[in-house]
Amino acid sequence: MTGTGGFRQPRELRFRWNEAPVCLHVIPAEWIPDSEKEQENGVRRRLVFWRRRMVCDKIRRYVSGKAPKGEDIWLSPELEPLFLPYARPLPDPELAARLLHNLPFKEILVLLTDLWEDDRIRWWQERFLENCFQNLNALYLVGDCGTQMRPFYDWMYEQSGLLACPSHRFPETDGRKTAVVDLRFSKRPPIRELAEGSLYLDLTSQPEKQRLFGEKRRDISYVSARNYLDTAFKARYNAM
């Protein structure tokens, strides 16, 4: 969901992206209060807060009427401040896999997670890896690696001969061939451990992680899932 456009009512755009159906909801710019202009016009803070709450309620009503029950909602950066606190969801596993395939090819995958015993995260990982493992030469699973995914690892090995290597430590790899996918919310990324030239795909899309890489590891290709998808979908919207 994004906030832009010179119209008075939300627009719903449906198209296919990488062979997957996508629905993009574009919120009118006039729905979103402009704090800077309101301050210039001397609008009191209490009134600004009231307007912002009204906007949030308006957008939530629109979302509840359009989004299928149980689906996650992704917000573009300009809408996030209206929904604080807002927890970004993980993209669908198939969508995350397509995103990874669209990035420069890497044959070694390092998956970072700390919720192996969570049924939903375990399901997400299995669906994600089902779409990735056949193109890999090495797979490392770093975190609190439970034993409940062992049958899935055995299945992957039977299908392709690929061994899953669970570990609590970050592996030593060739950065030119390594993609690191981070599923961990509010966890500091392994800044020092990453091999030079690695690709780091942040599925949690947390600004603090991006800032750390910009300050300390400019040799790493940092990719935010939310920013990538927002740019791709906005480009599609602007082309229509």
pLDDT tens, position by position, 208-237: 898 999 999 999 999 988 887 777 666 554
Q: Which residues pair with 210 in a beta bridge?
A: none
- Low-confidence stretches of the chain (pLDDT beneath 70): 1-8, 15-22, 29-52, 60, 63-74, 76-78, 80-89, 115-118, 145-147, 232-240
The pLDDT score that the predictor gives to residue 99 is 87
Burial class (CB in 10 A: 0-12, 13-18, 19+), 82: buried
Query: Please, which contacts does 128-133 make with residues 24 or more away whose CB atoms are closer than 8 Å?
Result: 128/93, 128/94, 128/96, 128/97, 128/181, 129/156, 130/93, 131/93, 131/94, 131/97, 131/98, 132/97, 132/100, 132/101, 133/159, 133/160, 133/162
> Tell me, which fold does domain 93-227 have in CATH?
Rossmann fold (3.40.50)
- Look at residue 220 and give its three-state secondary structure: coil
The CA-based dihedral angle spanning residues 119, 20, 207, 4, taken in that order and rounded to the nearest 10 degrees: -130
Closest CA to 181 of 147, 215, 218, 131: 131
Amino acid sitting at position 98:
R
The position carrying tokens 């008075």 is: 8
Residues of the chain with CATH 3.40.50.720: 93-227
- pTM of this prediction? 0.71
The answer to whether the peptide bond before residue 85 is cis (omega within 30 degrees of 0) is yes
Closest CA to 75 of 180, 16, 4: 4
The pLDDT score that the predictor gives to residue 179 is 95
Evaluate the CA torsion angle 197, 198, 202, 207 in order and state its sign: negative
The pLDDT score that the predictor gives to residue 217 is 93
The position carrying tokens 């030469």 is: 137
